[in-house]
Structures are given as structure tokens and as C-alpha cells.
Amino acid sequence: PLKIPAFYAIDAVHGNAEIPGAVVFPHNIGLGATNDPALVEKVGQIVAQELGAVGMDFAFGPMVAVSLDDRWGREDETFGETPDLTGSLGAALIRGLQGPTIGSGPVHAIACAKHFAGDGAVKWGTANEADINPGKIDRGDAQIDTGTMMAVHVKPYVSAVAAGVGSVMATVSMWNGLRGHADKALLTDTLKGTLGFKGFVISDYDGIDETVAGATPEDKLTTGMNAGIDMQMLSGSRRTTAAQIALVKSLVPARVTQARLDDAVSRILLTKCMMGLFDGTGKADRTLTTQAGSPDHRAVGRQAVRESLVLLKNDGNVLPLPKTVAKVLLGGKSADNIANQCGGWTISWQGEKGNLAVGTTVRKAIEDVLTPAKVTFSMAGTGGAGAAVGIAVIGETPYAEWEGDKADLSIDPADLAVVQAMKTAGLKVVVVLISGRPMLLDKLSPLADAIIAAWLPGTEGEGIADVLFGDAKPTGKLPQSWPRTMAQIPINVGDATYDPLFAYGYGLTY
């Protein structure tokens, strides 16, 4: 009588962040710096509730790639550069989203571990889609041996499967030239066979097209299904449901066996049964709407920000700042910019400019601590007469996927000018660096007395003020090795020659 209920999925990769009013948590790179599975599980629980608040039940996350190259535009979505950290926190987020088993949590939702496998090992210069990302890294080729693939890049999925993840998304990147959506050895033999994954494999967005170059739709679908793709994610303007059904029917059983089709359908139906979609227990709970963006949820977001901050430098113990300070000069393009705090995958794919995300900027958070009268705000970092300290909130602006691929991770000259202005005025200078990855500090560090890596903290800017003014000590540790120069990248713990500016796991405290 219920026919076949649908999933309602969304890219909730750091909170249900495409929904105005939802709590936007730190991107995974910030959660990686917390190395706090209990906190990350709590984040997952809140994301599930905020999914349910708008009738969603399928999150396209967490991303459990092991990121090895800071130039990659998706490093912000990863937990870090080691499989143990990534596996631990990925599993925690899955448990939070789903509960101990699918359908057992207060909200009946499923997670999606992605992208299987090796997308964090892609090599700079191997992306070859002429119309998307030529010569960069996202969607490129992971040129690694089988042992490395299994020991490093498949390993986090062992934890994800053990946590009961409902779905796994295939990668559109390549492994030694073979597209992930066409890799039967990985998707079927390894994931479903060796790892014992019982859920379903979903394609990436139009990823079914990235199986065989120049092939017909029939060839692409045949290759993807036979490789192990169970569900397709398709852009609706390109294909209709009726056309897809007709296409599948044309392939069975001549090119895709009935058993393969039955396996795909069975995995999807099993998951929906476990979620309670067939008996009605898994339908959306409209009372959850009142919880979206609630003070309790924002308090957890604030805790996540506090724990994610990594204190890189603190000369002369300039931090924590006394709340009795006479005046503070606050500057930088991200000091009063909620969009920059949140980064990509917020409101829209690339991140939305303006104040559509609801939250607290760093400026508002500092003014709440000191009162507005004690804070002089100048985006350029000028006009700080009477101030003893300058706080510069600088760094990257929002991006997602290949739009974030960057050949040079130097600090923007305009950002350096803000810090220089404060230094020239004779102030003690504290830099809060907003970024989805390590940035080069060679020109910045001599100008700054203290530097905090704040990653992409999301909507709860109070967590930054908590650490600046000593209501919390910084406890975050680097989930990525911090390079000295671009020539060092990629640099990762365990390299034969390892001489980072700051090592993996580094982080000062008070």
C-alpha cells in the first residue's frame, strides 16, 4: 500500500547547511582538529535532527577520504591525512547520523561514506576534463599501488562499514587511469566482498557518465552497473525517470544480468525497510522543525568551533587576551562575514555570499565579550588609535570541489596588508586564519604575534571568542602537516623526508 517510498537526500556535509537557519558546523577539517569522536557523534545526531526538520533522511556525507595534497579543493571536507583519524571520526559521524544501527536512532536517516576510493590520493596535474578542471587535481588520477590503496585509502571504509553506514558513494576520480565508477575490483570485489558492505552504492552527481569516455549512454550504464553501482544520482534536467527505466530494461538481461539488477534493488529496499519507510515509522517528524537552529544545537556548534581551533603561534603569551583590554582593533575581510566563516556547501554549492546563513560573526562574538564600544572595526586594519591589540581575521573565501583547487597557497596580499597595517601601528597582532587547509605563513608569521588556524568554523563565531579571551583553552591539533613552501607539497606524516613548518598533531595551548 505504501508502494516504494523515496529517499530525500541533500549535501549535508557540515550541518544541513543548504537550509537557511540550520546550524553550520566546522567543515570536517576542523572536526579533524578536535580528534573528539564523542563530539563528532553528537554533531551527527544534531545534523540528523536538522535533516528531519525539513523532511530529509539521506545525507551525502561524511567524506572519509585521506587527503594528501593541500592544493586539493576538497581538503576542507576531509578529516585529515591519516586513515586512523579519518576512520575514527567518519565512523563517529555515521553513528550520530544513523544511530547504533539504521532505523534505531531518534531520526531515521542514513549516511553516505564517500568517495570510494582513493580520491584523496589524486595527483596534481592529472585532472583531464577539458571543460571542468584541466591540469589540476580534483577528479584526477590516484597513481598508487594496491597496497597503498588498501592500507591507506580503503582503510577508513572498514570503520564506516563497521559503523553500519547505509550507503557508499563511488568516486569520479581515477585509480591508475580507471574511473572509480567503472572499477568492479574496488566496488564489488573489495567493498561488497572483502569489506562485507550490505548497503547500496550510489553514483556521484552524473558520475555514471564518467565510466567510459566517449561511450553511449547504454555503454556507460552497463559499465557502471556491472562495476557495482546500485543507485544513480542524475541531474533531473538531463534525463526523465521513464527514460531511465526504458534504458535499464533495454540492458537486462543481455548486458546486465537479472541477478545484478536484483542485487542493486535488494540493497536499496533493505535499507528503506531498516529505516522504517515501508511501515511508516520512518516518516518525517514535523515536530523536529522547532529544533532546527535551536540554542542547544548552536551550543554544540560553538563547542565544535572551540575544540577545532589550533594555536600555531603565541609569542610573549599575547593570548589569551584580557577582557579588561581598553580597546581592540578588529580587521580583515572575514571578521564580519558569515559566508567566509562557513565556506562552501553553505546555502549553495560554492557557498553563498552575504548573510543568508544564520549565525554569529567573529565581530559580533568579540563585541559581545568586550562591548561594541571597545572594538574598532576596520576591514583594512587601520584607525586603531588607543588600541593595544589588533585582531586580523583573514584567509580563504568560499569554494567547493575543483573550484577550490589552488596551485599557490600563499596568503592573499590584501590580507597581508591588513596585518602589516596593525603591525605598523605598533599593536600586538593576533591573526585568525579562516581556511579549508594549511596556507603558507612565510610572509605572515613575522608580522603576527599569535596565529590561530580556525579552519572554516561555520555559524558559531562565539567559539573563536571563547578561545581569544580565555574562556576556553585551545586544544585542537593539526590534522594535516603544515608546509613551509609550495615545493614541499604534498607533505604528510611518514614521508621519508619530513620537515614541515608544523608537524601533524601540533598545537599549542595556554
**What is the rounded CA–CA span in Å between residue 207 and residue 171?**
8
Alpha helices in 153-257 (DSSP H): 155-162, 184, 217-227, 241-251
The cell numbers describing 3, all together, are: 508502494
Task: Give the N- to C-terminal CA distance of the chain in Å, as an integer.
Answer: 62
**What is the rounded CA–CA span in Å between residue 226 and residue 32?**
35
Place of cell 532546527: 292
> What single letter denotes the amino acid at residue 92?
A
The cell numbers describing 29, all together, are: 577539517
Active site residue 296: no
What DSSP element (H or E) covers 126?
A: none
7-41: b or e for each residue (b if 16 or more CB lie within 10 Å)? bebbbbbbbbbbbeebbbbbbbbbbbbbbbbebbb
DSSP string, 453-496: EEES--SBTHHHHHHHTTSS------SSPBPSSGGG-S--TT-S
Q: 174-175 and 141-142 as β-strands: parallel, antiparallel, unpaired?
A: parallel
**What is the rounded CA–CA span in Å between residue 73 and residue 345?**
12
CB 153 within 8 Å of CB 121: yes
Q: Which residues have C-beta within 8 Å of that of residue 145, sequence separation ≥ 6?
A: none
- Name the residue among 95, 135, 106, 34 with its Cα closest to residue 463: 34
- Name the residue among 249, 247, 231 with its Cα closest to residue 239: 247
Active site residue 204: yes
Give the 3-state secondary structure percentages of the chain, helix then strand then coil, rounded to 5: 35, 15, 50
Catalytic residue among 41, 70, 141, 401: 401
Catalytic residue among 69, 75, 204, 396: 204
**What is the rounded CA–CA span in Å between residue 78 and residue 114?**
10
CB 202 within 8 Å of CB 196: no
- Enumerate the active-site residues: 204, 401
